[in-house]
């Protein structure tokens, strides 16, 4: 790794290890640091909690270094709580703490705390634990990365090797990130909590960690719930379950009388196979999985099934070969589990009937070692089923000691929406800058009725927006497709709604992690962010594969934001006009506009065009501000400025920078109704010099969806 990101990684590890180099690993006490906090959900609920950190050996054999494992403890409301319930998230590489604010998970933890403390763990190397062992990208991938499977694997292998070398230079062995060490971390956590036993609630990879804990510290665990089961020698994914999942969804499609399209998804998948490719993750995830058992007896059926499976061998298996894992120091391949996990601990296994990642046979394999195992298949559920209310109910009952054998658990049957022909049926316009939460729900129906088929919400009540989107998809509410950012990331502002306040780069990264885990479609920033926090947002969003739409912060010119990887710049009257001022080359808006008309301004626009950034001018928003001016003098000044603004937008267009139509009208007095905003914006773009065809294209659903997918 080179450049700023490499230096950041080095500094992160150096700070986390400072002062801990000479402590004997076997004699380190699991001393805890506690800090009160309020845990909030994205739908506005709160619970008292505390950050709870312990220091543990980086590697319990042959190392004197220590690292920090961070948790969030939610104290029970019971007078005499039971055993603490420790939540182990999956991935590997997803911090438990980013799941807590997500409303369904918040509800689950809220219900569990009625009878026990809930401990949410950020496993070593991720989240709030230190040092963080992620491998953020410090260069763009090659344009031909996805043309061949071998290119993907080679690119990831080279990046992981560079990151592993960087981590070794700080005195940490990358092989310290493994399930055995993490299981011992959990027992150090139990010791720090001062309890004899804990219960375990685990999802996906977390179930492998829970099983390792049961094997190494079996007398210290009371009851276990595993959802999406992974276990000994199950890290390699067999291809056959993917085909079975497609067959089951095809059957559901055939049962849906409203579905007019094909119902043979296996055939459709096979036809599309050569167009599919994979992605990248952090070092912690690769290290943990390379430490897993990868026996020849597991590889054999994987290779056999790959010949006939719809997508062939799952690409994740290519990151588990001996050649790939040798880059992390695993040569030869390690042995993770000491045979099958056997125990009399009560174990509940929950598997979605549509889970092709960790299918039912995984749960059946693990259950053979537990004499008190109960396995439930969740009808219609896919891999992640913990947010489903019926699943949460059975989990709560299980931890309370109830007998749940034979209980039928189901998710609602999926509904299938046909999007082919949507543009023709509704007119196919889009609004790339709305704030639906500032308006009324009935606007959704009116937007669709007036030809707006897609909107991009740039800051609102995330729970409300996701609910509306689900209701629209289910057919119980009419409305356009909603592309969701969730709350805007901004600096401190009094009384600002639908914002996450960010003061530091660390807070910026944590906020992006949380929003990514919540499933947002992109990240929206506002102008009170510091430049350092803003660039941290952009870097972290890129790590998660999320675009950033920026109302530029003070101090960051448009061309610098574009160079950093911002996908769209919002508001010509603010972000663009202010950019020369932010750069220190103009002192007022008039001077800024003169600069944009200069050769230097033209050069800046050409530079921006080369980055692929899009501009959303929101001219109609500025026009509405003319009408709402508090006095005649200001109204005249704003009106006189409009032609200058239109000229700047014309220069943006002539430089080859894509433009999208956005209204931003929800909170402006005197503005037209929301569904009229895009039409007026298109008229203003034509007044700026765009052809009728170019202006209409900027306001099309196709253009906005192309921005999202590009």
For the cut 60, the answer to whether the pLDDT of residue 406 exceeds it is yes
User: Could you give the CA distance from residue 274 to residue 276 in angstroms, rounded to a whole number?
Assistant: 6
Write the pLDDT tens digit of every residue in 293-320.
Answer: 888 888 888 888 877 777 777 878 888 8
Q: Are residues 658 and 699 in the same domain?
A: yes
Q: Are residues 461 and 558 in the same domain?
A: yes
The residue segments making up the domain with residue 443 are 422-709
3-state secondary structure 404-434: CCCCCCECCCCCCCCCCCHHHHHCCEEEEEE
**Predicted confidence band at 147 (pLDDT cuts at 50, 70, 90)?**
low
Provide the number of structural domains found in the chain: 2
Question: Quick check: helix, strand or coil at residue 313?
Answer: coil
**Predicted confidence band at 115 (pLDDT cuts at 50, 70, 90)?**
very high
Which is more confidently placed, 185 or 435? 185
| CA angle (177 as vertex; 173, 178 as ends), nearest 5 | 125
Q: Are residues 612 and 523 in the same domain?
A: yes
**Average pLDDT estimate for 674-678:** 70
The predicted structure's pLDDT at residue 550: 96
For the cut 90, the answer to whether the pLDDT of residue 10 exceeds it is no
Mean pLDDT score across all residues of the chain = 83
For 191, counting Cβ atoms within 10 Å of its Cβ (0-12 exposed, 13-18 middle, 19+ buried), the class is middle
User: Could you give the CA distance from residue 326 to residue 332 in angstroms, rounded to a whole number?
Assistant: 8
The predicted structure's pLDDT at residue 377: 95
Write the pLDDT tens digit of every residue in 577-605.
Answer: 999 999 889 999 999 999 999 989 999 99
Among 137-151, 152-166, 671-685, the range with the most confident prediction by mean pLDDT is 152-166
Specify if 629 maps to a domain: yes
Specify if 677 maps to a domain: yes
Specify if 214 maps to a domain: yes
CATH of the domain at 453: 3.20.20.140
**Predicted confidence band at 424 (pLDDT cuts at 50, 70, 90)?**
very low
For the cut 80, the answer to whether the pLDDT of residue 446 exceeds it is no
Q: Are residues 366 and 472 in the same domain?
A: no
**Predicted confidence band at 144 (pLDDT cuts at 50, 70, 90)?**
low
For the cut 60, the answer to whether the pLDDT of residue 420 exceeds it is no
**Average pLDDT estimate for 106-112:** 94
Q: Are residues 372 and 472 in the same domain?
A: no
The predicted structure's pLDDT at residue 139: 59
The predicted structure's pLDDT at residue 642: 92
**Predicted confidence band at 387 (pLDDT cuts at 50, 70, 90)?**
confident
The predicted structure's pLDDT at residue 497: 80
pTM confidence score: 0.59
For the cut 80, the answer to whether the pLDDT of residue 27 exceeds it is no
How long is the chain? Answer: 710
For the cut 90, the answer to whether the pLDDT of residue 524 exceeds it is yes
The predicted structure's pLDDT at residue 280: 33
For the cut 70, the answer to whether the pLDDT of residue 668 exceeds it is no
For 641, counting Cβ atoms within 10 Å of its Cβ (0-12 exposed, 13-18 middle, 19+ buried), the class is middle
CATH of the domain at 94: 3.40.50.1820
Give percent above pLDDT 90 in the chain: 46
For the cut 80, the answer to whether the pLDDT of residue 498 exceeds it is yes
The DSSP result for 506-520, as a single string, is HHHHHHHHHHHHHT-
**How far is CA 87 from its chain centroid?**
19
Q: Are residues 426 and 367 in the same domain?
A: no
Least confidently predicted of 62-71, 396-405, 481-490, 584-593: 62-71
Specify if 310 maps to a domain: no
Q: Which residues contact 69 (CB under 8 A, 6 or more apart)?
A: 53, 54, 55, 56, 121, 122, 123, 124, 129, 185, 188, 189
The DSSP result for 523-559, as a single string, is EEE-TTS-HHHHHHHHHHHHHTT-EEEE-PPTT--HH
The last residue of a domain, from among 364, 399, 434: 399
User: Could you give the CA distance from residue 620 to residue 672 in angstroms, rounded to a whole number?
Assistant: 9
**Predicted confidence band at 568 (pLDDT cuts at 50, 70, 90)?**
very high
Q: Are residues 499 and 393 in the same domain?
A: no
Specify if 104 maps to a domain: yes
Write the pLDDT tens digit of every residue in 217-267.
Answer: 999 999 999 999 998 888 777 777 877 887 887 787 777 665 655 566 666
Specify if 332 maps to a domain: no
User: Could you give the CA distance from residue 688 to residue 318 in angstroms, rounded to a whole number?
Assistant: 52
**Predicted confidence band at 8 (pLDDT cuts at 50, 70, 90)?**
very low
* C-beta neighbour count of 697 within 10 angstroms: 18
Omega of the bond prior to 332 within 30 degrees of 0, cis?
yes
Q: Are residues 691 and 593 in the same domain?
A: yes
Which is more confidently placed, 254 or 662? 662
Give percent above pLDDT 70 in the chain: 85
648 within 8 A of 593, measured Cβ to Cβ: yes
For the cut 70, the answer to whether the pLDDT of residue 137 exceeds it is no
Question: Quick check: helix, strand or coil at residue 20?
Answer: coil
Omega of the bond prior to 333 within 30 degrees of 0, cis?
no
Write the pLDDT tens digit of every residue in 348-374.
Answer: 999 999 888 899 999 999 999 999 999
For the cut 60, the answer to whether the pLDDT of residue 60 exceeds it is yes
The predicted structure's pLDDT at residue 146: 60
Q: Are residues 552 and 647 in the same domain?
A: yes
348 within 8 A of 243, measured Cβ to Cβ: no
DSSP assignment letter at 271? H
Tokens of 30: 């699991």
**Predicted confidence band at 404 (pLDDT cuts at 50, 70, 90)?**
very high
The predicted structure's pLDDT at residue 666: 44
The predicted structure's pLDDT at residue 393: 93
CA-closest candidate to residue 187, choices 226, 225, 215, 207: 215
The predicted structure's pLDDT at residue 345: 95
46-73 b/e (C-beta count within 10 Å ≥ 16 → b): ebebbbbbbbbbbbbeebbbbbbbbbbb
The predicted structure's pLDDT at residue 323: 84
For the cut 60, the answer to whether the pLDDT of residue 26 exceeds it is no
**Predicted confidence band at 447 (pLDDT cuts at 50, 70, 90)?**
confident
**Average pLDDT estimate for 619-631:** 84
For the cut 80, the answer to whether the pLDDT of residue 417 exceeds it is no
Specify if 323 maps to a domain: no
User: Could you give the CA distance from residue 398 to residue 405 in angstroms, rounded to a whole number?
Assistant: 10
Q: Are residues 431 and 504 in the same domain?
A: yes
The predicted structure's pLDDT at residue 257: 62
Q: Are residues 537 and 392 in the same domain?
A: no
Specify if 405 maps to a domain: no
Q: Are residues 509 and 601 in the same domain?
A: yes
**Average pLDDT estimate for 481-502:** 90
């Amino acid at each position: 790794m080179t450049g700023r990101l490499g230096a950041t990684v080095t500094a992160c590890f150096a700070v986390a290890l400072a002062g801990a180099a000479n402590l004997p690993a076997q004699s380190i006490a699991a001393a805890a640091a506690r800090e009160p906090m309020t845990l909030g959900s994205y739908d506005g609920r709160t619970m008292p909690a505390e950050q709870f950190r312990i220091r543990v050996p980086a590697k319990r054999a042959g190392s004197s270094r220590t690292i920090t494992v961070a948790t969030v403890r939610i104290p029970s409301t019971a007078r005499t709580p039971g055993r603490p319930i420790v939540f182990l998230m999956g991935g590997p590489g997803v911090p438990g703490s980013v799941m807590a604010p997500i409303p369904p998970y918040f509800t689950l933890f809220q219900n569990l705390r009625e009878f026990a403390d809930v401990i949410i763990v950020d496993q070593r190397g991720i989240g709030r634990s230190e040092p963080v062992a992620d491998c953020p990208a410090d260069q763009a991938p090659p344009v031909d990365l996805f043309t061949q499977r071998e290119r993907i694997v080679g690119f990831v292998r080279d990046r992981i090797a560079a990151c592993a070398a960087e981590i070794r230079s700080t005195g940490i062995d990358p092989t310290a990130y493994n399930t055995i060490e993490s299981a011992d971390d959990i027992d150090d956590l139990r010791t720090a909590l001062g309890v004899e036993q804990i219960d375990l609630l685990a999802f996906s990879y977390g179930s492998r960690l829970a099983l390792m804990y049961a094997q190494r510290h079996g007398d210290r665990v009371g009851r276990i719930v595993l959802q999406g089961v992974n276990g000994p020698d199950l890290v390699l994914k067999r291809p056959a379950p993917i085909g079975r999942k497609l067959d089951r969804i095809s059957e559901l499609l055939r049962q849906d009388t409203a579905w007019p399209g094909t119902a043979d998804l296996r055939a459709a998948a096979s036809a599309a196979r050569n167009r599919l490719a994979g992605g990248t993750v952090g070092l912690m995830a690769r290290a943990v999985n390379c430490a897993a058992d990868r026996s020849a007896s597991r590889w054999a059926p994987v290779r056999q099934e790959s010949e006939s499976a719809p997508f062939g061998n799952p690409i994740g298996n290519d990151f588990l070969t001996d050649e790939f894992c040798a880059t992390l120091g695993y040569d030869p391949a390690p042995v993770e589990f000491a045979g099958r996990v056997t125990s009399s601990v009560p174990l509940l296994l929950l598997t979605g009937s549509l889970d092709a990642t960790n299918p039912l046979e995984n749960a059946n394999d693990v259950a053979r070692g537990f004499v008190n195992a109960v396995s439930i298949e969740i009808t219609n559920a896919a891999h992640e089923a913990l947010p489903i209310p019926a699943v949460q109910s059975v989990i709560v009952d299980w931890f309370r000691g109830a007998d749940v054998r034979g209980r039928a658990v189901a998710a609602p049957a999926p509904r299938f929406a046909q999007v082919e022909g949507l543009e023709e049926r509704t007119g196919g316009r889009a609004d790339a800058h709305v704030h639906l939460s500032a308006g009324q729900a009935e606007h959704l129906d009116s937007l669709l009725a007036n030809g707006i088929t897609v909107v991009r919400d740039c800051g609102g009540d995330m729970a409300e927006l996701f609910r509306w989107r689900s209701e629209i998809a289910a057919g119980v509410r009419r409305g356009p497709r909603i592309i969701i950012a969730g709350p805007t990331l901004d600096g401190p502002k009094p009384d600002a709604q639908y914002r996450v306040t960010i003061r530091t780069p660390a807070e910026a990264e944590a906020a992006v992690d949380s929003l990514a885990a919540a499933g947002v479609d992109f990240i929206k920033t506002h102008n009170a962010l510091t430049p350092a926090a803003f660039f941290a947002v952009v870097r972290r969003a890129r790590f998660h594969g999320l675009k950033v739409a920026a109302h530029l912060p003070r101090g960051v010119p448009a061309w610098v934001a574009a160079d950093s990887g911002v996908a769209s710049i919002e508001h010509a009257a603010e972000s663009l006009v202010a950019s020369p001022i932010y750069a220190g080359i103009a002192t007022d808006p008039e001077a800024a506009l003169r600069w944009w008309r200069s050769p230097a301004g033209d050069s800046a626009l050409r530079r921006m065009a080369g980055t692929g950034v899009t501009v959303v001018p929101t001219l109609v928003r500025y026009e509405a501000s003319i009408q709402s001016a508090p006095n005649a003098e200001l109204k005249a000044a704003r009106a006189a400025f409009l032609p200058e603004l239109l000229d700047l937008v014309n220069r943006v267009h002539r430089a080859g920078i894509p433009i999208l139509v956005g209204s931003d009208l929800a909170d402006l007095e005197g503005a037209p109704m929301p569904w009229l905003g895009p039409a007026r914006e298109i008229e203003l773009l034509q007044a700026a010099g765009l052809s009728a065809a170019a202006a209409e294209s900027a306001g099309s659903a196709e253009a906005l969806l192309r921005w999202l997918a590009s």
